[in-house]
Structures are given as structure tokens and as C-alpha cells.
Structure 1
């Protein structure tokens, strides 16, 4: 459980034991409970976590793999996609320009059209992509209204990852897809030329086991699957990533 307290007189600058009731209780694990009480006024708050709750972000990141096989029988309501876009909306944006726009799809017709514009898993040469029962249940198409502004690419990464983390929190998963037949998709949605089709988030209930492993001796970064269909993704070690450290 995470508890939200009003910041102000009598509130410690760092988390500490509290005896007064919280203004709001946040339930990241979606456990059932009474309605949350939202403070009526605009003010500032601090979030008080326990040590166990502080690990929640890493848990979400570890679960947020690039899933490419889903249980297509599990539907995703439009309200879920709207929630994910709302997460993107409140993300930082370079120069606060907020250039991204979104197409949300849960309908079978548009889902089929979007799927037909995508290419899957370039390293798996002998895999033809998800079968009909493994296809995503929903899509978020990320569009850029400032295609000549390089900093918009930062927004794409920040907001795309945030939406995927939000999907994982809801028990779903997804994959950022950049291999897109953009002209085919543009024609299907009758998009204006100034709108750049940047990324597609394919979303659904994951139906595969994706595991992180150390980089092999030959240094290959290519993901692969074993005979059981388990998907392995090699990752570099922290020591290889950190080039220089100063201080303690």
C-alpha cells in the first residue's frame, strides 16, 4: 500500500512513521477496497512508500518485455487505451510542445488493418509472426505532428515506455513496433501528409514466456527462442554500460 499525505507544516521532508489518516491511498496492485478519497483542493503532496513498495518500478520494468504473442480471446476495452494515453499526456515533453497524437483501436476491422501493416521480430527468420489467435487485442498508433523537430523523438520514447508500463500494471503487455508499412497505414486511416506515423504499440494479454539472459560469450545481442518457445533476450551487464564513475 502507498499512502499520499499533504505536504506542509508537520509533514516530514523524508518518509517516516505517520499516525494521522492519509488523504489518499494508492493501490498499485488493484486490490479491491473502498473508494479513494481525493482531496478537493489543489495542493502539493508527498508519497510515502515502504521499502517493499520502492521495488515496484523495477518489478514493472522487468515484466515489461517486448511481447509478440498474445491471447487474442482477451479483449481490451477502449477505456484502458484512454487510460494509457492519459499517462502519456502527463509525461514530460521536450519544450512542452506535446507534439504526439494517437489512434486507438480495439475493433476487429481496424486491428486487422493495422496488423497487416506491421513486421515482427526481425531476428527470428523462421517465424512468420503471431497466428490469428496470438494477435494483439488492441493498438495505439503514435503520430508525430512535428516530424522535422528532432526532440520529438525523445517524447516518443518517454511516452511509449510509460504507456507500456501502464499496460503491465493492468496485467497486460505489449511491443513497440517500428517496422511499419506507413503508406498502407496512412491510406487506411486517411491521415494528412504532415502527420508522421512513428510507432505502433501492440497490446494484449501476453501468451509467451520472455526471459532476460546475460550476453553470450560471442557478444550476440540477437534474441532467440528455444524448442519450447521460450523467448530469450540477451542484455549487457551494468559494468559494460557504465563507462566512468566519480564519487562514492
Structure 2
């Protein structure tokens, strides 16, 4: 596995560093080059830098649990999807945004940054605060910055921040023949089961 994929994680503790506009531009270029269904490119982003009005308005839409840490991020982004164009409704728009955000997150790792994606925000408040058109749907808020000291977090979040990263083994998520029949043995995720 590539070290950039292995190194991607979603911290809640962010350093007080800033992310320069030219660095953020690289992250958003990476997002722009993501694949999408029929090359529809449905991903759209709102950008707020810590201390500016846009950041404050995005921050205000976050649920309280996310407000407890996200204000320290250098940048808050809202990832949105355009749901229609001149041809009509666009298919698989969230999939396209997901690919774009993953590109952004991996590019962040390459640049020594981190991106934490959040679903805990008020989509209608984003729509109202930024005059988002009806055919555009807010999907995710992303905090971007340099990972900081977990000691800066409240105790409950500090504990979560320092837990080891875990993923379900392939034996529980990849199937063959019928749903539920693992394509990989539990002992070795590298060798397919051939029954």
C-alpha cells in the first residue's frame, strides 16, 4: 500500500499554522482532477480561512461536537454537489464528490497536512448562509490544517485522537460467489480464498 494512503487519518487536533492560498489551490486542483460519472465533475467547494467571514459562517453551521475542535483548523471547506446540468439530473454525484475529497485528503498528506471530513453540520444553514442554489446540495464539511497536539483537545476527544487506527479486515468486507462468503481468509488478507 502507498505510504500516502497509509498516512491518511482524520485528526481533531490542529496546529495554529496557516495554510497559504497557493497550498490550498494544490489541494483543490487534486480534487478537480478526480474521476466522475461521465466526466460530469459535480464537486463544488466553499472555502473559508480561519479568521475570515466565510470560515465563521461555515463554523456556525457545525454541530456543537464539531465546533469543539474544528475552529482550530486553518481552513474549513464545504463540499457540495451540483445535481443537474443542461442535460438534466446528474447521476452518482455524491460518488464524484467522494472521489474529489479523497484526492484532496491524499494530496494533503503529501503536503504534510491533514483533512478531517464531517457530516455533522446543518445543510440548510449552509444553503441559507451562502445563497446555495436549489440544484446544489451541501454534503460534507472538511477541516484542513497541520495536525496539532492532542493535549489541546477536551479529554474525551483526546482519548479518541490517540486510539490506534483500525479497519475491518478484508475477510469481513470482500466477498465472492455470494454475499458474505469471504474472498480472503481471516488469517491472511493477502491471499484470496479459492474454495
Once the 2 structures are TM-superposed, how far is the Cα of residue 189 of structure 1 from its aligned partner?
Answer: 1.6
- Distance 1:187-1:131 versus aligned 2 partners, 3 A rule: closer
SS in 2 for 1:136: coil
Partner of 1:189: 130
On the 8 A contact 1:144/1:196 being kept in 2, the answer is: yes
Alignment of 1:212-227 (within 5 A): none
When Rg is computed on C-alpha atoms for both structures, the one with the higher figure is 1
- Distance 1:85-1:62 versus aligned 2 partners, 3 A rule: same
- Distance 1:201-1:98 versus aligned 2 partners, 3 A rule: same
Measured in 1, the distance between the counterparts of 2:31 and 2:158 equals: 35
- 2:24 pairs with 1:92: no
Q: Normalising to structure 1: TM-score of the pair?
A: 0.60
- 2:181 pairs with 1:237: no
Which deviations, in whole Å up to 9, do the C-alpha atoms of 1:183-224 show, x marking residues without a partner? 222222222222211112110111256xxxxxxxxxxxxxx8
Q: How many residues align?
A: 170
Measured in 2, the distance between the counterparts of 1:152 and 1:141 equals: 15
On the 8 A contact 1:225/1:231 being kept in 2, the answer is: no
Partner of 2:148: 207
- Distance 1:60-1:191 versus aligned 2 partners, 3 A rule: same
More helix, by proportion: 2
- Distance 1:225-1:102 versus aligned 2 partners, 3 A rule: closer
- Distance 1:107-1:130 versus aligned 2 partners, 3 A rule: closer
Once the 2 structures are TM-superposed, how far is the Cα of residue 237 of structure 1 from its aligned partner?
Answer: 1.6
Which deviations, in whole Å up to 9, do the C-alpha atoms of 1:209-248 show, x marking residues without a partner? 6xxxxxxxxxxxxxx8675961344321222223234798
Once the 2 structures are TM-superposed, how far is the Cα of residue 129 of structure 1 from its aligned partner?
Answer: 2.4
Measured in 2, the distance between the counterparts of 1:139 and 1:226 equals: 21
For CA contacts below 8 A with separation 6 or more, give which structure has more relative contact order.
Answer: 2
On the 8 A contact 2:115/2:144 being kept in 1, the answer is: yes
Which deviations, in whole Å up to 9, do the C-alpha atoms of 1:145-197 show, x marking residues without a partner? 11654411111111111100001111100111122211222222222222211
Which deviations, in whole Å up to 9, do the C-alpha atoms of 1:38-97 show, x marking residues without a partner? xxxxxxxxxxxxxxxxx5x2x1112211112201x2001112221111112222111111
- In the alignment, structure 1 segments of 5+ residues that lack a partner are 1-54, 123-127, 210-223
RMSD: 2.8
On the 8 A contact 1:63/1:168 being kept in 2, the answer is: yes
Which deviations, in whole Å up to 9, do the C-alpha atoms of 1:126-158 show, x marking residues without a partner? xx72175xx211022212111654411111111
